[in-house]
Amino acid sequence: MKMVSVFLVCFFVIGLWNEANATSTIHRHLSSNGLGRTPQMGWNSWNHFGCNIDDNIIRGTADAMVSTGLSKVGYKYVNIDDCWAEQYRDAQGNLVPKTSTFPSGMKALADYVHSKGLKLGIYSDAGSNTCSNTMPGSLGHEEQDARTFASWGIDYLKYDNCNNGGISPQSRYPIMSKALAESGRPIFYSMCEWGDQNPATWAPTIANSWRTTGDIQDKWESITALADQNNQWAAYARPGGWNDPDMLEVGNGNMNTEEYRSHFSIWALMKAPLLIGCDIRSASSETLQIVGNKEVINVNQDLLGVQGKKVSQQGNLEVWAGPLSNNRVAIVLWNRSGWQASITARWTDIGLPYNAVVQARDLWAHKYLPSYLKGSLTSTVASHGCKMYILNRISR
């Protein structure tokens, strides 16, 4: 049995993904800052607030992350996106927090967030200006800005790609990586260069996560498209560095419950960052139940660190799967069609022996299926919905 178990894990990590050479090479380049051993979890201001952010929103979000229980299930980063700084640097060339919206400055805000047991993230750009064109970027000021962020107590940097002067991202992004490493403070490095020049193939040596896609939108077509784009880079994700199909839209109101559950389930299986993008201060109980589903989160945070991917497809009916620690398998039956449908996951598609007997745990119903299964699992799935399971092999 031990030999079979070892074979199963190896089959998933190497055989099923069919990218053994790329995987073995990339896994030698673990990030040196010790961060991102599992995908980052937290909140980001952009999807809901855009540029309309201030000190009170960030403090209130930190409060809500604790009071809602989200911090207890793993969410820890409170990340400020674009538009937080004045339009021009000061006389010494330093970035300056906007006095009208962050009058207490970033050090005081970081201290407040840290007092809640959380971490504070900030935003800059590998260009002359950020994407909003309301504040300077960090191109040419990498060392100075990294030292500034460290002095404020910043824990996370999202680094965008606008106004880059046509300079290759492979030239620009390593400079900030080195600057952060030399800043004297561990700072999670999240590259946001939209998948330009296939960062999954070179960013694992310099960053903790890298965008594989353009910006997400709160609509079904965006979710499905970004999932497919991110899927092709599955072999490159590992502890210390993750593929990033952009932040979560759950709770922003333009999709229904089934669609938001699918969004969250697929992001979790893909080991994508789980960065909430709604206003959690006023989030509905339904939204909190989705983003707070600890069983789904556990799949995302599993220490084996292998990204799940699409393993079979019949039209718009799909099976996604990935290996977990302790010889378990996570699967998602995803119905991307416009009608209810039956979807089957066959053991031969997900790396299990065809005659294996398993116990299945339904992660949204929070219960085990009543009978052991052999050969396959079939379930009826709502339109745009999903079913998510963990399969445990039973010894007989």
pLDDT, one tens digit per residue, over 151-181 is 999 999 999 999 999 999 999 999 999 999 9
Q: Which residue has the tokens 């952060």?
A: 180
Separation between Cα atoms, residue 322 and residue 330, nearest integer Å: 5
Q: Where are the alpha helices (DSSP H) in 239-352?
A: 257-269, 285-291, 294-300, 347-350
- pLDDT of amino acid 396: 55
- Whether 316 shows a pLDDT value over 50: the answer reads yes
CA 106 to CA 122: how far, in whole Å?
A: 9
Type of residue found at 104: S
Mean local confidence (pLDDT), 29-52: 90
pLDDT tier for residue 39 given thresholds of 50, 70 and 90: very high
| Degrees to nearest 5, angle at CA 44 with 43 and 46 | 150
For the ranges 7-11, 22-26, 174-178, the lowest mean pLDDT is seen at: 22-26
Signed CA dihedral, 384, 381, 249, 207: sign only: negative
d(CA 240, CA 186): 13
CA atoms within 13 A on the CB side of 271: 33
Q: Is 160 a catalytic residue?
A: yes
3-state secondary structure of 318: strand
pLDDT mean over 315-339? 98
Residue 22 has pLDDT above 80, yes or no: no
Q: With a cut of 80, say whether residue 117 has pLDDT above it.
A: yes
Q: Where are the alpha helices (DSSP H) in the chain?
A: 2-10, 20-26, 46-49, 55-67, 105-115, 142-152, 169-181, 220-231, 257-269, 285-291, 294-300, 347-350
pLDDT for position 106? 98
Q: Give the confidence band of 31 by pLDDT, cuts at 50, 70, 90.
A: low
In the predicted model, what is the mean pLDDT of residues 52-73? 98
pLDDT of residue 164: 98
The pLDDT value given to residue 30: 42
Q: How confident is the model at residue 395 (pLDDT cuts 50, 70, 90)?
A: confident
Burial class (CB within 10 angstroms; exposed 0-12, middle 13-18, buried 19+) of 280: buried
Q: Are 259 and 381 in contact (CB under 8 A)?
A: no
Contacts of 293 (CB under 8 A, 6+ apart): 264, 363, 364
Q: How confident is the model at residue 24 (pLDDT cuts 50, 70, 90)?
A: very low
Residue 390 confidence (pLDDT) above 90: yes
Name the pairing type of β-strands 328-335 and 386-393: antiparallel
Catalytic residue check, 82: no
pLDDT (average), residues 90-94: 98
Q: Is the dihedral of CA 285, 288, 289, 290 positive or negative?
A: positive
Q: Which of 82, 125, 155, 160 is catalytic?
A: 160
Q: Are 329 and 322 in contact (CB under 8 A)?
A: yes
Predicted local distance difference test score (pLDDT) of residue 15:
40
Residue 21 has pLDDT above 50, yes or no: no
**pLDDT tens figures, 180-231:** 999 999 999 999 999 999 999 999 999 999 999 999 999 999 999 999 999 9
> Per-residue pLDDT for 304 more than 90?
yes
Residue 269 burial (C-beta neighbours within 10 Å; 0-12, 13-18, 19+)? buried
Q: Which of 63, 196, 215, 228 is an active site residue?
A: 215
